[in-house]
């Protein structure tokens, strides 16, 4: 390295490194992501366009406001409804055990509704910007307008709890009769690895699950949480009408299967955003360093390769449900969400789908996330996507036999490969042929 180059290197890199260390949280506000300054492209921005063009309208419906029409416009099933009664989110003064907040979701958009709320809260998966937040005024308007929101949502929706990127949250904690979280008794983030017994504190849960215990439907009376907590009245609850006025919502359920799918999906979404952002930032840094150091274009720093691999590995683990909490007895919902979710497909010629649910020992019959079909997955930078496809192939073809993936039997791996081959577009070529070595490895097991 010639001397002026070193000086230039220090001049360019030092502020970046410093800034990265001091306020890593909003690194996504700078090049190349430019989170708040960039124009979003997702289900909500497209819906707004259709409203603006007069191609469709949203009907306002009394106390439920735009909720029923919005769910319909976004193809979000009412069966996905989940009710959360902890005062842990934006409109906390509206939320209590008698007036829970309702959440709804499909593969690429989430909606939150509070009784007498000011706004509907929405988050949309955006292939470039990760997770984009909006509100929709609940009052009847001539032209309903989604407002893009950043700061006031990111306070909670971008932290170490969401991989440091704008993302989604699911928490479990003890809640008192007013809906206040009792944080001294602890709180945890929830995803598909969280044991069932620690899930759903602060949420209503409808569904049956045998003798497996959870913290749902529990309102703590008194000042302190006395362990072990007796939540026998909260188990295997099928109806909520004694606990709240369910007519105020679009469904009377807070479905256990919807909750389990949400918890899986949120983890995968956050890791997708993280892998996408990290890869783009690392590649951008490469370009700058190559220019500064007069390296040939396309020279890859070792740190870039490492960053792509490590966020890719974490994504692969989420996609393949590594460390998923085990079910010990069958789980069954009340709203019909499970049936609705599975019907969507796509199915292979044998009728199998990544959306087939097991619900006896684990969530999915074939543990590979259906989000592999999502725009967010296809929108990953090629470098990250290629790496993830390679790793998935290593594991599914049986080459990678590491302990981490031991939950995937030989049959599971084969079934997932077959389903992907039959249903996933743009699959890398090497998925199509089964090299002899692979067959041998599978047979040798």
Q: Using the rule CB under 6 A, is 89 a contact of ligand HEC?
A: yes
110 counts as binding ligand HEC under rule CB under 6 A: yes
CB 169 within 8 A of CB 189: yes
CB-based contacts of 358, cutoff 8 Å, min separation 6:
364, 365
Determine, following the binding rule CB under 6 A, whether residue 265 of this chain makes contact with ligand HEC.
no
8 A C-beta contact, residue 171 and residue 164: no
Q: How many Å apart are CA 389 and CA 386, to the nearest integer?
A: 5
Binding mask 308-327 for ligand HEC (x = CB under 6 A): --------------------
Position among 152, 303, 360, 401 found at the interface with ligand HEC (CB under 6 A) = 152
Q: Count how many Cα atoms sit within 13 Å of the Cα of residue 61 in the half-sphere of its side chain.
A: 14
Measured CA to CA, the distance from residue 318 to residue 327 in angstroms comes to 18
Integer Cα distance of 104 and 169 in angstroms: 14
CA distance 156 to 232: 32
Q: Give the chain's end-to-end CA distance (angstroms, integer).
A: 51
Q: Is 119 within 8 Å of 133 (Cβ atoms)?
A: no
Choose which of 65, 86, 158, 217 interacts with ligand HEC (CB under 6 A): 86
What's the burial of 394, exposed, middle or buried (CB within 10 Å: 0-12/13-18/19+)?
middle
- Token pair of 243, please? 């606990």
Let me know: does 166 contact 131? Beta carbons within 8 Å.
yes
Does the protein bind ligand HEC through residue 133 (CB under 6 A)? yes
Cα separation of 19 and 291, whole Å? 21
What residues numbered 203-232 form the site for ligand HEC, per CB under 6 A? none
* Beta carbon of residue 248, minimum distance to ligand HEC (angstroms, whole number): 17
Q: Name the residue with tokens 């979000």.
A: 76
C-alpha distances in angstroms, 279 versus 72, 92, 272, 308?
35, 36, 11, 5
Q: Does 156 engage in binding with ligand HEC (CB under 6 A)? A: yes
- What's the Cα-to-Cα distance from 134 to each of 128, 170, 175, rounded to whole Å? 16, 18, 27
152/303 with CB nearer ligand HEC: 152
Rounded to a whole number of angstroms, the minimum distance from the CB of residue 117 to ligand HEC is 11
* Contact with ligand HEC (CB under 6 A) among 58, 122, 132, 259: 122
Tell me: does residue 66 bind ligand HEC (CB under 6 A): no
Q: Which is nearer to ligand HEC, 154 or 417 (CB)?
A: 154
Position among 48, 65, 88, 423 found at the interface with ligand HEC (CB under 6 A)? 88
Task: Annotate each residue in 160-189 with x if it binds ligand HEC (CB under 6 A) or - if it does not, as one string.
Answer: --------xxxx------------------
Comparison of 66 and 134: residue with beta carbon closer to ligand HEC: 134
Among 48, 65, 96, 135, binds ligand HEC (CB under 6 A): 135
Nearer to ligand HEC, 151 or 329 (CB): 151
251 versus 353: smaller Cβ distance to ligand HEC: 251
Task: Considering only the stretches 82-90, 182-190, 348-356, 376-384, report the one whose residues sit in contact with ligand HEC under the rule CB under 6 A.
Answer: 82-90
Q: Confirm or reject binding of residue 96 to ligand HEC (CB under 6 A).
A: no
Q: Which residue has tokens 């990265």?
A: 20
Examine residue 153 and tell whether it contacts ligand HEC (CB under 6 A): yes
The count of residues interacting with ligand HEC (CB under 6 A) is 26
Task: Give the tokens for residue 36.
Answer: 């708040």
Give Cα 300 distance to the centre of its chain.
30
The answer to whether residues 215 and 43 touch, using CB atoms and an 8 Å cutoff, is no
Judged by beta carbon, residue 170 or residue 268, the one nearer ligand HEC is 170
Nearest to 304 by CA among 272, 276, 281: 281
Q: How far is the CB of 358 from ligand HEC (least distance, A)?
A: 24
Instruction: Give least dist CB 173 to ligand HEC, A.
Output: 9
Residue 122 or 396: which CB sits closer to ligand HEC? 122
For ligand HEC, the closer of residues 48 and 86 by Cβ is 86
Residue 270 touches ligand HEC, criterion: CB under 6 A? no
Whichever of 265 and 384 has its CB closer to ligand HEC, that residue is 265
Q: Is 81 in the site for ligand HEC (CB under 6 A)?
A: no
Distance (Å, rounded) from C-alpha 45 to C-alpha 42? Answer: 5
Please give the Cα distance from 405 to 318 (Å, whole number). Answer: 11
Instruction: Please report how close the Cβ of residue 229 comes to ligand HEC at its closest, in angstroms.
Output: 19
Q: Which residues here bind ligand HEC, judged by CB under 6 A?
A: 84, 86, 88-90, 101, 103, 110, 112, 121-123, 133-135, 149, 152-153, 155-157, 168-171, 266
């Amino acid at each position: 390295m010639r001397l002026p180059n070193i000086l230039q290197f220090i001049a360019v890199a030092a502020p970046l490194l410093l800034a990265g260390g001091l306020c890593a949280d909003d690194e996504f506000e700078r090049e190349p992501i430019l989170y708040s300054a960039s124009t979003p492209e997702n289900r909500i921005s497209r819906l707004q366009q259709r409203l603006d063009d007069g191609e469709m309208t949203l009907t306002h419906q009394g106390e439920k406001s735009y909720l029923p029409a919005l769910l319909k416009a976004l193809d979000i099933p009412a069966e996905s409804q989940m009710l959360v009664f902890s005062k842990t989110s934006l409109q906390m003064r509206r939320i209590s055990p008698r007036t829970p907040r309702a959440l709804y979701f499909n593969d690429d958009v989430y909606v939150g509704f509070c009784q007498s709320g000011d706004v509907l809260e929405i988050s949309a998966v955006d292939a470039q910007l990760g997770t984009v937040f909006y509100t929709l005024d609940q009052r009847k308007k001539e032209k309903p307008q989604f407002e893009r929101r950043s700061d006031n949502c990111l306070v909670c929706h971008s932290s170490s709890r969401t991989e440091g990127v704008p993302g989604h949250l699911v928490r479990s904690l003890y809640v008192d009769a007013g809906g206040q979280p009792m944080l001294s008794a602890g709180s945890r983030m929830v995803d598909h690895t969280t044991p069932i017994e620690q899930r759903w504190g602060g949420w209503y849960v409808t569904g049956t699950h045998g003798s497996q215990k959870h913290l749902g439907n529990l309102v703590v009376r008194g000042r302190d949480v006395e362990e072990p907590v007796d939540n026998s009245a909260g188990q295997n609850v099928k109806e909520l009408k004694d606990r709240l006025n369910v007519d105020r919502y679009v469904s009377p359920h807070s479905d256990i299967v919807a909750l389990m799918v949400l918890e899986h999906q949120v983890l995968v979404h956050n890791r997708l955003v993280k892998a996408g952002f990290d890869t783009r930032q690392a590649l951008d840094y490469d370009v700058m360093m190559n220019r500064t150091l007069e390296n040939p274009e396309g020279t890859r720093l070792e740190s870039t390769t490492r960053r792509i691999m490590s966020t890719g590995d974490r994504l692969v683990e989420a996609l393949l449900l590594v460390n998923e909490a085990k079910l010990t007895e069958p789980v069954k919902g009340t709203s019909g969400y499970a049936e609705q979710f599975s019907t969507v497909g796509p199915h292979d010629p044998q009728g199998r789908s990544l959306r087939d649910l097991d619900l006896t020992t684990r969530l999915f019959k074939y543990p590979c996330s259906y989000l592999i079909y999502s725009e967010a997955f296809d929108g990953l930078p090629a470098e990250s996507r290629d790496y993830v496809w390679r790793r998935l192939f290593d594991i599914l073809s049986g080459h990678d036999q590491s302990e981490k993936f031991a939950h995937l039997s030989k049959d599971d791996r084969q079934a997932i490969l077959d389903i992907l081959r039959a249903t996933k577009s743009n699959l890398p070529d090497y998925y199509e042929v089964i090299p002899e070595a692979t067959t041998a490895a599978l047979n040798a097991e």
